[in-house]
Amino acid sequence: MEMIKRNRKSWQAKILYIAKVLVIITVLSLLAAVLSSVFLAFVGHLVPENSPSFRLWTNLTFAFTSLVVMIWVRYGEKTPLSSLGLIRKKALRQLAAGWGLGATFYTIYIGLMILFGHFQIASIQVNPQLLFQSCLWLLVWLVQSHAEEVSMRGWLFSRLSRELSVVASVVLSSLYFMILHFGSGYFDLMRMLDLFLFGIFACLVYLYQGSIWAISGFHAAWNFFDVTVFAPLEDGVSDSMVYLKNTSSGNLDLINDGTGLSLVMHTLAILYLVHRIRQRKGV
């Protein structure tokens, strides 16, 4: 009976801790959103809201997320920024390696999509203005993706893992990451599952590398190619921002559909990372 009471108290303490962590990350996210809204209201007086420049500034406001989280860690928690996985050693190397891996991963994805007949190349457009815009977007996606990784993996996952098992921390932080995208037009079950699997993949990369840089690079490369270069599934993206325009062949099934293929690739990557992590630990 005493053991049951202790276990009950232990679970109650864990539930309270989870609630506390989720409240903190939600408050930090809302604060960053308020700062972003104020900033965009100012920018809206300078550039049209339907212009490519405004979309660029909109994504840059993710920097407020990084800023708010880092201020909280430094002055609220009074812990070093390295606790977010912001390790200086080999930072640029890991960021570049992650970006290269993400670019390779997405190129394979698009190649398979074309091979399966779901997309075909409609046109290729390259001009100096497009190249310049793409270079800007490359930097913007680095800022945006890094902000998500700092908040979701660097803070949320690492804080949950202080009191919970790695598996529970991975699942909870990935669910929260998925839920955050409910307001971004991702209401399709397959896409939400894909986001959940990406969250798991990102946590495992963070665990394997011991820092946030590699997964930040991977995340940035995926977004860059998915929206700025190919944009096969994103709606409302200006054609002036892409190199390749793709059209659907109409073959929609689990493998041929873009989201289904992404699910398969993320699952394989997760299994590989689990194997490597277990191998490193000698399990």
Give Cα 260 to chain centroid, integer Å.
18
For residue 211, the model assigns a pLDDT of 94
For residue 85, the model assigns a pLDDT of 94
Q: If pLDDT is split at 50, 70 and 90, which confidence band does 282 have? A: low
Domain parsing of the chain, residue ranges? 84-281
Cα torsion angle, 35, 36, 39, 40, sign: negative
For residue 89, the model assigns a pLDDT of 87
Residue 257 has pLDDT above 70, yes or no: no
Q: What is the dihedral of CA 204, 86, 162, 34, to 10 degrees?
A: -100
Tokens of 172: 């909870």
**88-102, 106-120, 239-253: least confidently modelled range:** 239-253
Q: Which of 101-110, 111-120, 243-252 has the highest mean pLDDT?
A: 101-110
Q: Mean pLDDT, to the nearest integer, of 184-212?
A: 87
Q: If pLDDT is split at 50, 70 and 90, which confidence band does 35 have? A: very high
Tokens of 122: 């409609």
Instruction: Please tell me whether residue 247 adopts helix, strand or coil conformation.
Output: strand
The angle that helices 128-149 and 52-60 make with each other, rounded to 10 degrees, is: 20
What is the average pLDDT score of the chain? 84
Give Cα 140 to chain centroid, integer Å.
14
Helices (H), ranges, the chain:
2-44, 52-60, 63-71, 91-115, 128-149, 158-160, 166-180, 189-209, 213-223, 258-281
Residue 201, C-beta contacts closer than 8 angstroms, at least 6 positions apart: 266, 269, 270, 273
Higher-scoring residue by pLDDT: 155, 9: 155
CB 134 within 8 A of CB 251: no
Residue 254 has pLDDT above 80, yes or no: no
For residue 12, the model assigns a pLDDT of 86
Q: If pLDDT is split at 50, 70 and 90, which confidence band does 280 have? A: confident
- Nearest to residue 149, comparing CAs of 211, 212, 208? 212
Concatenate the DSSP letters of all residues of 16-55 into one string.
HHHHHHHHHHHHHHHHHHHHHHHHHHHHHTTS-TTSHHHH
Q: If pLDDT is split at 50, 70 and 90, which confidence band does 185 have? A: low
Round to whole Å and give the CA distance between 254 and 258.
Answer: 8
Higher-scoring residue by pLDDT: 149, 44: 149
Tokens of 18: 């989870």
For residue 236, the model assigns a pLDDT of 44
